[in-house]
């Protein structure tokens, strides 16, 4: 792309946490960003304003990631505003903690609607619309391998994301489009910290050899690498960005 036609990224969950950090990081790399949000237009507007203040291009688009019409319209908005789509970062997710025995199945259905169906719907549009040289980045979690108690439903939904990611990477043979998943470890976001006492947070922070929680900026650096030309040889992988936690 040259001149007034930047590379273009669609970032779901772009109004807060890791998604917002990724939107800003990609904008710093020259991407025009369509930041999707589900509920808080105020936070989304703040994210867009931050990108623009730094000299970047961004729009905010309301979208339920599990709704195929909303997601199609999200991609339409990115293409209309900026000319196409070159990277898709699907950071939107729902989270719930419970033992398997005690989980309310309505919570399970809501979680899987966002995390599994939502990932599939976004991936479907990405597969149809990403331009040559593009990248799709989905989000799993390192808990898939760590098997923490009370993460059963969440881990199961993210295991499905990993399976879908591997299949799609192979389905896009010949398209020059990469498909990878990032699997963060414990990361200091509002979603992660909510409901955890200081002792629990400190215990999790001490688990990695680097002896701290991850930050949204740590994860955004991985996303920027995978979305850009330097990371284009990485394909069909799950990147466990977790500081070495075991």
Nearest to 127 by CA among 95, 93, 88, 166: 88
How far apart are alpha carbons 136 and 165 in whole angstroms? 9
How far apart are alpha carbons 189 and 15 in whole angstroms? 13
| Residue 4 pLDDT grade (very low, low, confident, very high; cuts 50, 70, 90) | low
Q: What is the pLDDT of residue 2?
A: 44
Helix (H) or strand (E) holding 125: helix 118-129
How far apart are alpha carbons 214 and 205 in whole angstroms? 8
pLDDT tens, position by position, 118-164: 999 999 999 999 999 999 999 999 999 999 999 999 999 999 999 99
Q: What is the pLDDT of residue 207?
A: 92
Beta-sheet strand order (sheet of 8-12): 58-62, 32-37, 8-12, 87-90, 135-139, 178-182, 238-239
**Residue 7, CB-side half-sphere exposure with 13 Å CA sphere:** 21
* Domains of the chain, CATH where assigned: 8-239 (3.40.50.720)
Q: Could you give the 3-state DSSP secondary structure of residue 161? A: helix
How far apart are alpha carbons 130 and 79 in whole angstroms? 10
- Mean pLDDT is lowest, of 57-61, 120-124, 141-145, 190-194, for 190-194
Q: Among residues 31, 37, 139, 154, which one is catalytic? A: 154
Q: Could you give the 3-state DSSP secondary structure of residue 117? A: helix
The percent of residues in the chain predicted with pLDDT above 70, rounded, is: 98
How far apart are alpha carbons 246 and 241 in whole angstroms? 12
How many CB atoms are located within 10 Å of the residue 239 CB? 19
Q: Can you tell me the mean pLDDT for 65-69?
A: 98
Q: Can you tell me the mean pLDDT for 171-185?
A: 97
pLDDT > 70? residue 200: yes
The pLDDT mean for the chain works out to: 95
| Residue 26 pLDDT grade (very low, low, confident, very high; cuts 50, 70, 90) | very high
pLDDT > 90? residue 171: yes
Q: What is the DSSP letter of 229?
A: G
Is 37 an active-site residue? no
How many CB atoms are located within 10 Å of the residue 66 CB? 22
Q: What is the pLDDT of residue 195?
A: 78
Strands 87-90 and 135-139 turn out to be: parallel
Question: How many residues are listed for the chain in this entry?
Answer: 246
Query: Are 184 and 139 contacting, i.e. CB atoms less than 8 angstroms apart?
Result: yes
Residue 180, exposed/middle/buried by CB under 10 A (0-12, 13-18, 19+)? buried
pLDDT > 50? residue 185: yes
Nearest to 61 by CA among 88, 96, 37: 37
Q: What is the pLDDT of residue 239?
A: 98
Q: What is the pLDDT of residue 61?
A: 97
Can you read off the two tokens belonging to residue 70?
């909303």
Model confidence, pTM: 0.95
């Amino acid at each position: 792309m040259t001149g007034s036609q930047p590379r273009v990224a669609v970032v779901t969950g772009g109004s807060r946490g890791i998604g917002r950090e990724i939107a800003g990081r990609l904008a710093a790399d020259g991407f025009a960003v369509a930041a999707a949000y589900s509920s808080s237009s105020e936070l989304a507007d703040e994210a867009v304003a931050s990108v623009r203040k730094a000299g970047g291009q961004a729009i905010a688009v309301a979208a339920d990631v599990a709704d195929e019409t909303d997601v199609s319209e999200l991609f339409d908005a990115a293409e209309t505003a900026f000319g196409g789509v070159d990277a898709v970062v699907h950071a939107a997710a729902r989270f719930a903690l419970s033992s398997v025995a005690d989980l309310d199945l309505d919570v399970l259905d809501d979680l899987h609607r966002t995390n599994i169906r939502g990932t599939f719907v976004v991936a479907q549009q990405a597969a149809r619309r990403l331009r040559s040289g593009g990248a799709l980045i989905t989000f799993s979690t390192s808990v898939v391998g760590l098997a923490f108690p009370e993460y059963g439903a969440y881990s199961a939904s993210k295991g499905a994301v990993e399976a879908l990611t591997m299949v799609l990477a192979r389905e896009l043979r010949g398209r020059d489009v990469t498909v990878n998943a990032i699997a963060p470890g414990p990361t200091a976001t509002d979603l992660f910290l909510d409901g955890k006492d200081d002792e629990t947070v400190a215990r999790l922070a001490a688990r990695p050899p680097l002896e701290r929680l991850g930050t949204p900026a740590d994860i955004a650096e991985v996303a920027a690498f995978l979305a850009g030309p330097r990371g284009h040889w990485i394909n069909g992988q799950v990147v466990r960005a977790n500081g070495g936690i075991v």
